[in-house]
Amino acid sequence: MQFIRSFKFLILVSLLVLPIVFHQIGMSFYLDLATRLCILAIAAVGLNLILGYGGMISFGHAAYLGLGAYAVGIPAHHWLYGGLDFLATNNGFIHITIAVVISGLFAFLTGLICLKTKGVYFIMITMAFSQMAYYLFVSIEEYGSDDGLVINTRSEIPLINLDDPIQMFLVSFSSLIFFMWLVHLITKSNFGLILSGIKDNEARMVSLGYNVYLHKLIAFVFSGIICGFAGVLLGNFTTFISPEMIDWSRSGELMFMVILGGVATVMGPLFGAIVFVILEEVLSSITIYWHLPFGLLLIAVVLFFRGGLSSLLSK
Amino acid sequence: MANILEIKNLNKKFGGVIATKYLNLSILVGELHAIIGPNGAGKTTLISQIFGQIFPDSGQIFFQGTNVTRVPEYKKSRLGINRTFQITSVMKSLTVSENIQLATDTARENSFNFFTASNNQTTILKKIDFCLRQVGLIKAINQPVKSLSHGDCRKLEIAMALASDAQLLLLDEPMAGLGPTETNEMIALLKRLKGQQTILLIEHDMDAVFALADQISVLVSGEIIATGKPDSIRRNPKIQSAYLGGI
Ligand SMILES: Nc1ncnc2c1ncn2[C@@H]1O[C@H](COP(=O)(O)OP(=O)(O)O)[C@@H](O)[C@H]1O
Ligand SMILES: [Mg+2]
């Protein structure tokens, strides 16, 4: 027990310290990798709330990453090039507010419909809604259609300079820790217990008098908002957003991270994101068909150790 | 004494199958009323209608004088009716105490408590302790339900029904699948509950029913063919031939 706790702590400390050390000795590539990792891990933490703890297998969560990134890109675009004055700003707090409101609203409206379905239908319909977001952005020429939108100015936040890669990393890392803590808190709350009861035996929870649909909807909205926030960071990090980032295969990658790391665990999404980012680097340098071995690996995880990487630690 | 439950002319058909037929039933406050009848007689269907999981085609159900015929199930525990299931239905991946906790009114009323830890409220802890002692499952309090025997799962279901402060418990064959020792434990448990709570008990085990019930109704093909005290039911020749014949 003690050993496992120290191991998890060691991972977090390494994730914080090593990238900065590498950056200082001129290997900035690793800092960028770690920033991307943290951002993807935040999205995975958000997805884990519904997939892991709530048993809702959403195949459309990349949409929220995209919405969050466009919530930076679109106001910044107008701020630099004019038009839509009410929207034009490079204020980071406004970017975050827009991202939270839009992704929360998207989760609420699509959740109203998706959560009427179960199983494979739920997976398909969440994917369908995210593809709608995909085609929406493809169709807007002003924001680059499928070529995407270059974000020429990062979000302005007092005392923080996101142009500095170390600060960008630190913001991403501390956001990750914050959301891991927040989701942990939610899952240990009364609401969280109800959510795991629903995952286990929905019919029984209805008999016990719970409004199952409403609880799922709230979790779904929370989850979407967390991914939307990750999108704000992603937009600032890559300074570029395109519909391709919303594509269903991106949603699949988020699912992979959660399942690979171990559903319904605090550290699982982070483990999943670490392995994903490393594998992506290694495999994609060997072959452009890296999704194939990756997919096979995921199937192996699902078949042979259902608890994901976290279960190896808790044994 | 007043009726806690009153059913008037209840009818329910599934396609061509008549599951409930002009059924009338009254249950007094505090009594243990047993319903016996062969498989497929419509016992479970009757409980499901009282609990609002399915609605009758016609007829009325009154609970404490209020018409609750079309009140859906998720509102029933709030009103004070609770049920257990013929086929055990609990949250297997959670612990025993978490299952009870979910069954309490406190947990339901604090549904939207997102950030405060759920497992340290004194009222809930007391309740969990009380319910588990009632059914004799206190030693398993922190065990995952997965690891419980079938008999202990049946007890857990009763404990969950107790947790919600219901005035009326609907128990659907609590002895189903139990061995002789466990059956005796369950009978002893129900004896203890009797008097504290009004219970509608559906049961196959005749010894259990005659040992426990204040009133017995005999249900055959959706119809109640007799209601009375255990003695009169035992002596009723009509029932002997229709149902008790084989015993
Ligand atoms: N949901 C349903 N759909 C169709 N037929 C049903 C359904 N539920 C019960 N029945 C039928 O109604 C009759 C009564 O069933 P049930 O109430 O389960 O009997 P019991 O609990 O007395 O064994 C049976 O013939 C059963 O097949
Ligand atoms: Mg039955």
Q: Please, which pLDDT band fits residue B247 given cuts at 50, 70 and 90?
A: very low
Q: pLDDT per residue over B90-99, tens digit each?
A: 999 999 999 9
Which of B51, B73, B94 is the closest to A197 by Cβ? B94
| Mean per-residue pLDDT, A57-71 | 94
C-beta atoms of B112 and A193 within 8 A: no
List the domains of chain A with CATH numbers: 18-314 (1.10.3470)
Give the residue, by CA position, lying nearest to ligand 1 atom 4. Answer: B14
Q: Please, which pLDDT band fits residue B190 given cuts at 50, 70 and 90?
A: very high
CATH assignment of the domain containing B203: 3.40.50.300
- pLDDT of A288 reads 77
Residue A312 reports pLDDT greater than 80: no
Write out the E strands in A100-185.
149-150
Contact between residue A223 and residue B90 where contact means Cβ atoms under 8 Å apart:
no
Q: pLDDT per residue over A84-104, tens digit each?
A: 877 878 888 999 999 999 999
> How many angstroms separate the CA atoms of A193 and B103, rounded?
11
> How many angstroms separate the CA atoms of A164 and A289, rounded?
34
Query: What tokens were used for B200?
Result: 């509608």
User: In this structure, what are the phi and psi dihedrals at residue B74, rounded to the nearest 5 degrees?
Assistant: -70, -15
> How many angstroms separate the CA atoms of B78 and B84, rounded?
16
Write out the E strands in A126-167.
149-150
Q: Please, which pLDDT band fits residue A64 given cuts at 50, 70 and 90?
A: very high
Ligand with an atom nearest the CA of residue B36: 1
Is B76 touching A (CB cutoff 8 A)? yes
- pLDDT of A46 reads 97
* Total number of domains in chain B: 2
Distance from CA of A118 to the nearest CA of B (A): 19
Same domain, B175 and B108: no
Same domain, B1 and B21: yes
* Strands A149-150 and A240-241, bridge-based pairing: antiparallel
With contacts defined as CB-CB under 8 Å, which chain A residues touch B100?
none
Give percent above pLDDT 70 in chain A: 97
- pLDDT of B245 reads 52
Contact between residue B124 and residue B141 where contact means Cβ atoms under 8 Å apart:
no
Same domain, B197 and B96: no
Residue B168 reports pLDDT greater than 90: yes
Q: Which of A71-80, A162-171, B29-38, B63-72 has the lowest mean pLDDT?
A: A71-80
Write out the E strands in chain A.
149-150, 240-241
With contacts defined as CB-CB under 8 Å, which chain A residues touch B103?
208
User: Measuring CA to CA, which residue among B208, B206, B212 is closest to residue B234?
Assistant: B206
Same domain, B110 and B126: yes
Distance B43 CA to ligand 1 centre (A): 8
Nearest CA in chain A to B88: A204
Contact between residue A188 and residue A180 where contact means Cβ atoms under 8 Å apart:
no
> How many angstroms separate the CA atoms of B41 and A144, rounded?
68
Residue B49 reports pLDDT greater than 80: yes
Same domain, B179 and B152: no
- Block residue for tokens 């706790």: A5
Write down which residue in B137, B166, B195 finishes a domain.
Answer: B166
Instruction: Specify which residues B169 forms β-bridges with.
Output: B82, B199
Q: pLDDT per residue over A113-127, tens digit each?
A: 999 998 889 999 999
Write down which residue in B166, B186, B211 finishes a domain.
Answer: B166
Q: pLDDT per residue over A224-278, tens digit each?
A: 999 999 999 999 999 899 898 888 888 988 988 998 888 888 899 999 999 999 9
Query: What tokens were used for A240?
Result: 């570029």
> How many angstroms separate the CA atoms of B4 and B169, rounded?
11
Q: Which of B11, B12, B17, B85 to mutate to test the pocket of ligand 1 (most atoms within 8 A of CB)?
A: B17
Same domain, B210 and B153: no
Same domain, B38 and B54: yes
Which of B77, B90, B98 is the closest to A209 by Cβ? B77
Name residues contacting ligand 1 (CB within 6 A): B 14, 17, 19, 37, 39-45
Q: pLDDT per residue over A155-170, tens digit each?
A: 888 888 888 999 999 9
Same domain, B108 and B140: yes
C-beta atoms of B117 and A188 within 8 A: yes
Q: Please, which pLDDT band fits residue A290 given cuts at 50, 70 and 90?
A: confident
C-beta atoms of A211 and B77 within 8 A: no
Instruction: Specify which residues A269 forms β-bridges with.
Output: none
Same domain, B160 and B179: no
> How many angstroms separate the CA atoms of A21 and A31, rounded?
9
| Mean per-residue pLDDT, A19-31 | 89
| Mean per-residue pLDDT, B56-74 | 94
- Block residue for tokens 């002893």: B188
- What contacts A7, CB < 8 A, 6 or more positions away? A313
Same domain, B214 and B97: no
Distance from CA of A157 to the nearest CA of B (A): 27
Which of A191, A197, A211 is the closest to B91 by Cβ? A197
| Mean per-residue pLDDT, B54-73 | 94
CA-CA-CA-CA dihedral for A199, A204, A207, A211, to nearest 10:
0
Write down which residue in B166, B191, B225 finishes a domain.
Answer: B166
Nearest CA in chain A to B98: A193
| Model ipTM value | 0.90
Q: Residue B150: which domain range? A: 89-166
- pLDDT of A37 reads 96
Same domain, B14 and B123: no
Ligand 1, residue B48: give the atom nearest the CA.
Answer: 17
With contacts defined as CB-CB under 8 Å, which chain A residues touch B93?
196, 199-200
Q: pLDDT per residue over B210-239, tens digit each?
A: 989 999 999 989 999 889 998 888 887 777
Is B44 touching A (CB cutoff 8 A)? no
| Mean per-residue pLDDT, A179-186 | 95
In a 10 Å sphere around its CB, with 0-12 CB exposed, 13-18 middle and 19+ buried, how is residue B51 labelled? buried
Same domain, B177 and B243: yes
Write down the mean pLDDT value for chain A.
89
- What contacts A199, CB < 8 A, 6 or more positions away? A53, A54, A55, B93
Contact between residue A224 and residue A104 where contact means Cβ atoms under 8 Å apart:
yes
Give DSSP secondary structure letters for B72-126.
-HHHHHHHTEEE--SS----TTSBHHHHHHHHSHHHHHTTT--SSBSTT-HHHHH
Q: pLDDT per residue over B103-125, tens digit each?
A: 998 888 888 888 877 777 788 89
